[in-house]
Chain A
Amino acid sequence: GQQVMQIPQYQHVQEGEDFTTYCNSSTTLSNIQWYKQRPGGHPVFLIQLVKSGEVKKQKRLTFQFGEAKKNSSLHITATQTTDVGTYFCAGPAGAGSYQLTFGKGTKLSVIP
């Protein structure tokens, strides 16, 4: 079945450093979503990418969808302590599927 892999599993950065997490799917995706889960909280939707090669920005966060629509990345510039949490990517489990397959997430720690 479809697999969604995320790397790295953990990342510790000094406040002010940049951070990137990568997401790779075993199959072509119609879209990819990113969620953030703060410690003790629940996942919160960040963004959805649909088009091949799409790049979207939200303040210090930059999201990219690969040309082949099989990979994606999330880059945070100049991390802050508020960025702490686990970042998940998710893609449809199959063509036309409403079910999302989530990656295992990248847990970000920011050292003040």
Chain B
Amino acid sequence: GAGVSQSPSNKVTEKGKDVELRCDPISGHTALYWYRQSLGQGLEFLIYFQGNSAPDKSGLPSDRFSAERTGGSVSTLTIQRTQQEDSAVYLCASSSSASPTYNEQFFGPGTRLTVL
């Protein structure tokens, strides 16, 4: 069916506010990833979910960042007490593969977060 969807597409918030970013992966994809991309930069891994396993949170930059995945499908990335350096595009990707060797990732359009 449809590809990976993310909402909102744009989010402007004030420093210190909390934000929630949503990702809807491709139906049936067991793996879900969150990345952060600052302007003109590469992709910074944040967190990875695979099925019902404990998530790999090794990329989260601080304890202000958290993510959950409900029912093995939709995921929400929450940033508490946002800072200006959190401004970036947050990309979600999903993969159907249960193998680390063959795990093509399908990316959503991203959420552009601007912290004033």
A-B contacts at CB below 8 angstroms, number: 61
Which residue of A is nearest B107, CB measured? A42
Q: Provide the bound-state CA to CA distance between A90 and B56, in Å.
A: 18
Q: Provide the bound-state CA to CA distance between A30 and B33, in Å.
A: 20
B45 touches A93 (CB 8 A): yes
Asked if A105 lies at the interface with its beta carbon under 8 angstroms from chain B, I say: yes
Which residue of B is nearest A41, CB measured? B109
B43 touches A30 (CB 8 A): no
**A92 and B104 contact, Cβ closer than 8 Å, known pairs A98-B31, A98-B50, A101-B45:** no
Asked if B48 lies at the interface with its beta carbon under 8 angstroms from chain A, I say: yes
Asked if A96 lies at the interface with its beta carbon under 8 angstroms from chain B, I say: yes
**A104 and B42 contact, Cβ closer than 8 Å, known pairs A31-B101, A98-B48, A98-B50:** yes
Q: Provide the bound-state CA to CA distance between A94 and B25, in Å.
A: 24
Shortest distance between the CB of A88 and any CB in chain B (Å): 7
Of residues 39 to 54 in A, which have CB atoms within 8 Å of B's CB atoms? Answer: 41-45, 48, 50
User: Which residue, of B35, B100, B109, has the highest number of chain A Cβ atoms within 10 A?
Assistant: B100
**A residues engaging B (CB < 8 A)?**
30-31, 33, 35, 41-45, 48, 50, 88, 90, 92-93, 96-105, 107
**B residues engaging A (CB < 8 A)?**
31, 33, 35, 40-43, 45, 48, 50, 56, 58-59, 91, 93, 95, 100-110
